[in-house]
Amino acid sequence: MGWTRRGIVLGGLASFGTVAVQKPTLAAASSYFSGTAVDNGVMFRSTNFAKIDKKWRRQVVKYFSSEPIGTVVVDTRHHFLYLIMENKTAIRYGVGVGREGFKWYGRATIDRKSLWPRWTPPPEMRERHPELPQSVEGGSPKNPLGPRAMYLLRDGVDTGYRLHGTLEPGSIGKDASSGCIRMFNEDAIDLYQRCPIGTAVQVLPHIADQAESAAQVSQATPVE
């Protein structure tokens, strides 16, 4: 798949749609949040990690790779993002990835970062969904990018894909986006702090030969 602007996240589309959502669905979505937190003067809903499967929580794991320390590697099949650390370890984050027809693979770099970014749906997305607004200001509870966005460029050209937060914590661990990599908002904040401009990113179908097996997940060390 080529590098296109359609990779902008579609998460949060339901917030702007005209189709009514049934109350049980809203209740289920609300259960993924617990309380509020403040970040750079903006209040947002905290993720209810008690409801989140432990495998999707941020943690340090064994990881074997020839990539340099500091590289971000995404395993789309297993819905994990790894930030390679020293001593054959990585910080592993659960993520949501592109749904069928919106998946992509390849290398890029984080060449732009934004704190509480503004979201502007690309023209092709607005053609498919004319009910979308022209833009949503950063910090809005309806902004699908959440508190952080890391913009992926390739050879200086914007790919249209981002690493960012989400309005839908329940979508982590699923094929749910239009190609962007979704993270829990708290994890997006954490990764943003760890990745300087120029960070290399590699998105792959899977990396089962480099990360620990499923049987070893329970031995991973949580990151507070």
Listed in order, strand segments (DSSP E) in 126-209 are: 148-154, 157-164, 175-177, 181-183, 199-204
User: Strand, coil or helix: what is 171?
Assistant: helix
Assign 132 to helix, strand or coil: coil
Distance CA 72, CA 31 (A): 30
Contacts 24+ apart (CB under 8 A), 131-137: 131/16, 131/17, 131/18, 132/13, 132/16, 133/16
Write down the catalytic residue from 78, 79, 129, 164: 164
Closest to 181 measured CA to CA, from 106, 118, 69: 106
DSSP 142: T
CB 116 within 8 A of CB 139: yes
Q: What tokens appear for 22 in the block?
A: 């049934």
| Vertex 145: Cα angle to 143 and 150 (nearest 5) | 150
Q: Is 180 a catalytic residue?
A: yes
Is 164 known to be catalytic? yes
- Distance, in Å, from the CA atom of 25 to the CA atom of 83, rounded to the nearest integer, reads 33
Catalytic residue chosen out of the listed positions 78, 79, 129, 180: 180
Residues contacting residue 104 through CB under 8 Å, at least 6 positions apart: 1, 3, 7, 98, 159, 161, 179, 203
Catalytic residues: 164, 180
